[in-house]
Every structure is written in C-alpha cells, then in structure tokens.
Amino acid sequence: MNRRQFGWLPGLTSTDADGVHTLTFPGLELRTARLSAPGLEAQMERVALARDRYLRDLPVQRIVRLLDRVASRWLDPASPYRLEAECLLPSVTGYAEPAIRKGLTSYLAMLREENLLRLLDAELPQPAALDGFVSRGRGGGQTRAFGPRLTTHVWSGNVPGLSIQSLICTFLVKSAALGKVASNEPVFATLFAESVAEVDERLAECLAVTYWPGGDETLESVAFNRADAVIAYGSERAIDAVRAHVSPTTTFVPYGHKLSFGVIAREALASDCAAEVADRAAYDVAKYDQQGCLSPHLFYVEDRGDTSPREFAELLGTSLERYAGVVPRGRISLEEGASIASLRSQQEMRQVAGEDVMLLSGDGWTVVADADPTFEASCLNRTIRVKPVSDMLHDVPRLATPVRRYLQTCGVAADPERRRQLAEHLGQLGLDRVCPLGRMGDVAPTWHHDGRFNLLSLLRWTDLEPEVSAGQWQFAHPHLGVYGKEVAE
C-alpha cells in the first residue's frame, strides 16, 4: 500500500487540527490534517495575510511569468510533479494513464504566458488596472480593479486538473485562495500547490488546500462566511448547499450541472470525410469518459447526406472501438455498470419490438442510433446516442429547448455560415459555447465559462473622478453658490 500526505496548509500548527482524514484508493492511502473550525479560520487568515504582504502588490505581469514557470515544470515529461500525477491519478480517479497524460497537458497549457495574457486582454482592456489607477479615456477620470482578499474554492472530482482554471483566475486578480478538494480527487491540487512553492514560496503561502466531508455545516460556515468570494463546482444539490451558507454580500460564482451535445450537418457527411468526423466525435465522447460538463450526451445528425445517421452511428462505433485500444475506459462503479447494462437491455427489447433503434457496443463503449429525436441525457462512460434531424437550424433549437437552463457546449461539424446561424439560435436559448467537433473538451483560455467572465466576475472597481470647474459645481448646487443667492433675493 502506497501512502502519501495530501493537502497544502502553510503554517499549520498542532492546535489547528483535531485529527486526521484518511482517503483510501486501490493501492493508495492518502492522509491530511482534519482542521477544526478555529483551525480553518486561522488557516484562512494566514493565507489572507500572506496575500496582503506579497500578492496584493505583485505586478500582474510578474504573476503571469510565475504561473508560466509553474506550467513549464508540469509540461516537462520528466517533471517529478507530472510523473507523480501520472502515477497517482489513475488509482485515484480510475482513468487510464494515457487519458490523464493527455488531459493534464491540455489543462496546463492554459497557464503558459501567452494564454494568460490573452485571458487578461480579453477581459480587461487595461490589465494595468489590477496594479493601479488607469485612465477611463472618454469616460473621464481613472479607475482601479480590486480582487477579493480571499476566495474559497469548492472543487468537484469528476475531472482531474479542474482546479487549475479557478486558481489561476484568483491569482491573476491577486486573491488568496482556500481550496476544498473532493474526496474522489484530492491529488492534483496538492501537487500543484507544491509546484507553486518550488517556483515562489511566498506565492504558495497565499494558497491553502484542504478537505472535509461535504455537509459539515460548522466548517462550511467558516469557509464561506469568512471569504470575500466563493467559487463552487458540483451538482445542483451541491451548489444549493454552498449557496445556503454564502452571505448576500459575498461574491458567489457557481458552476453547476450542465449538458452538452453535438450536431453534424449533412455537408460534413460526405463519403470522403464522414469517417474523420466520426473520429472527432469519438474523441469528444472518450475524453474523460463524458464525466465533464463539456462532454456530449448525444449527437444530432442531419439526414439526406451522403452518410445517413445510422451509418454515422456505425462509423462512431468503429472509432470508439479504436480509441478503446489506445485509451481504455476508466474504472466504473457497480451502479454505473448497472446503468449501462440496463440501457443496453432496454434498446435490445425495443429492437425486438420492431422500433427504429440500433444498438452497437464493445468493450467499454455503447452507441444507440435512435429515430426518436427527443433530447436524452446519457448515463455516461462512453455511452452515446445518435439521433436524426431533418434541418439542424430548425429542429435542434426546438429539441434542446426543454433543457435550455442546463445547456453549455455544442460541438458542430458544419459549414461556417450554418454553424454561425446555429450558434445564434442556441445562444438565444442560453448555450454559452459553440465549437468545432473534436474540441468540446479543449476550451480556449478566454472562454466564458457558463456564459460569464472569468476575471471580471471576481473584481470590484473604484473610480477616481476628476475635479470639475467651479461653474459646474455651482450649477449642480445652486443653494450653496451664486445662483442660490440670486434666487433668495
């Protein structure tokens, strides 16, 4: 049994903890301090004070360069952090090592200097506003952006590396961070904090990573009420539980349950390119076994193309079988296995009953070609439905309307103009991202997560207004100036 400590608690004292949390995985035991409520409060104040002494006044360009140095260590295949992550995460998450390796590379690339600068430029016309007052141009006067003193993060464990995005955003806005890891993925944030400490110990002192079982109201009251901002990932139930503890005066950024899907237009189904389109669709399905909000639950395929929806389903099955040989599906629970078996059984019964449905399956994947176009959520773990539509611009928005509040990403294979038109329709419904098929799980650094800004959502602004002439002031306040005197006479 391999044993390791997890968490990152700068300045931890013996009085901060009242025990130990132990998490067990196949061949691995992870342990961390069990913070008491006063201990958690003390830890939060330590990282906030470290931020006041260092991060608050650190130029944002310097922060970018430091994060780039952290990324360069992780992107080095020989990095000890990278090697340990690739060793531990398969045991912790159940994902195959190739899936971990490729997924981490995609996430960590967001930390490169050019990508962080793109994020800053996309959201802040003048990133220097994070360092001091800048001109408002024609608006008059100056303005300055301030991030939270301390941000509490609640991370889910469905996708390794998920913590990167919210952490880099809080560092860029010069906020200290308290991160609560999930019981099913406590490793990555720990290793990331250790790598930050190697690059800059003082920056790492502005970050704490800990764990407590969800629903501990005493600790959660401290974690959420003592923070200036709270970022939470999870199910609707988990988000509601966090929201109940967050003060109305605290910035709250929730990332809850979302649904994504794909659309393949008939022009993308030409006989010479349909197989390649199916490969891209299979990649989106296979990446992290559909566990992320960006993963497709189903594909809508236009009919009357060179390749029919059923034929596309067969190509998709072939591609998923090929992926299974390179990146096998991860470990699944008994409940997940039962859900897949139940789905397959239902489709077989429908086939016997003469319904227009086709079931394809292999070792670790399932494809259902179903003539019923109703939007249906998948049971995940490489289980995907393929459904026909006659006109994607008319049919898809109508079919997606019942789940509009949950829509996030749509991967599309279509000509540019029809893709733009579909994006217009889906944007009206509330979907926040349309991307090329094969890129659903690989977001741009500048994407608007759940339709929001990443940095601006955390910032508040202070305006420094210019002096006005005496005449303007007197006109605005006649009872105190010469005009008031004349009126009185």
Q: Which residues contact 212 (CB under 8 A, 6 or more apart)?
A: 21, 34, 35, 180, 219, 220
Each residue's pLDDT tens digit, 425-455: 999 999 999 999 999 999 999 999 999 999 9
pTM for the full predicted model: 0.94
In which residue ranges of the chain is pLDDT below 70?
Answer: 468-489
Amino acid at 360: L
Spatial CB neighbours of 189, under 8 Å, sequence gap ≥ 6: 8, 155, 163, 167, 179, 181, 209
Residue 121, CA distances (Å) to 413, 429, 446 in order: 29, 28, 9
| Torsion (CA) 259, 428, 316, 353 in degrees, nearest 10 | 80
Cα–Cα dist 430/191, whole Å: 36
Report which of 157, 165, 148 is spatially closest to residue 183, judged by C-alpha positions: 157
Following DSSP, what letter does each residue of 322-357 receive, concatenated? HHHHHS------HHHHHHHHHHHHHHHHHHHTT-SE
Angle at 111 between CA 70 and CA 100, to 5 degrees: 85
148, 143, 412: which is closest to 261 by C-alpha?
A: 412
Question: Cα 311 from chain centroid?
Answer: 34
Q: What order of strands is seen across the sheet that includes strand 460-464? A: 134-135, 142-146, 460-464
pLDDT of 477: 64
**How far apart (Å, rounded) are the C-alpha atoms in residues 6 and 227?**
23
Domain 2-257+459-464 fold = Aldehyde Dehydrogenase; Chain A, domain 1 (3.40.605)
pLDDT at site 482: 54
Q: Determine the pLDDT at residue 291.
A: 96
CA 333 to chain centre: 24
Q: Tell me the H-state helices in 182-271.
A: 187-199, 201-204, 217-225, 236-243
Q: Give the pLDDT confidence score for residue 488 in this predicted structure.
A: 47
Cα distance between residue 112 and residue 182, in whole Å:
26
CA atoms of 227 and 247, how far apart (whole Å): 9
Kindly give the pairing relationship between strand 365-370 and strand 383-389: parallel
Give the number of residues written for the chain.
Answer: 489
- Cβ-count burial 110-122 (b if 16+ within 10 Å, e if not): bbbbebbbebbeb
- Which residues are paired to 440 by β-bridges? none
CA distance 348 to 359: 7
The matching CATH number, chosen from 2.60.40.1730, 3.40.309.10, 1.10.8.60, 3.90.550.10, for 259-436 is 3.40.309.10
Pair of tokens at residue 433: 């991202």
Q: What is the pLDDT of residues 313-355, one digit of tens each?
A: 999 999 999 999 999 999 999 999 999 999 999 999 999 999 9
> Where exactly are the structural domains of the chain?
2-257+459-464, 259-436
What is the rounded distance in angstroms from the CA atom of residue 453 to the CA atom of residue 447? 8
- At a CB cut-off of 8 Å and minimum separation 6, what does 324 contact? 286, 362, 363, 364, 365, 382
Q: Is beta strand 134-135 parallel, antiparallel or unpaired with respect to 28-35?
A: unpaired
What the block records as the tokens of 13 is 């004292």
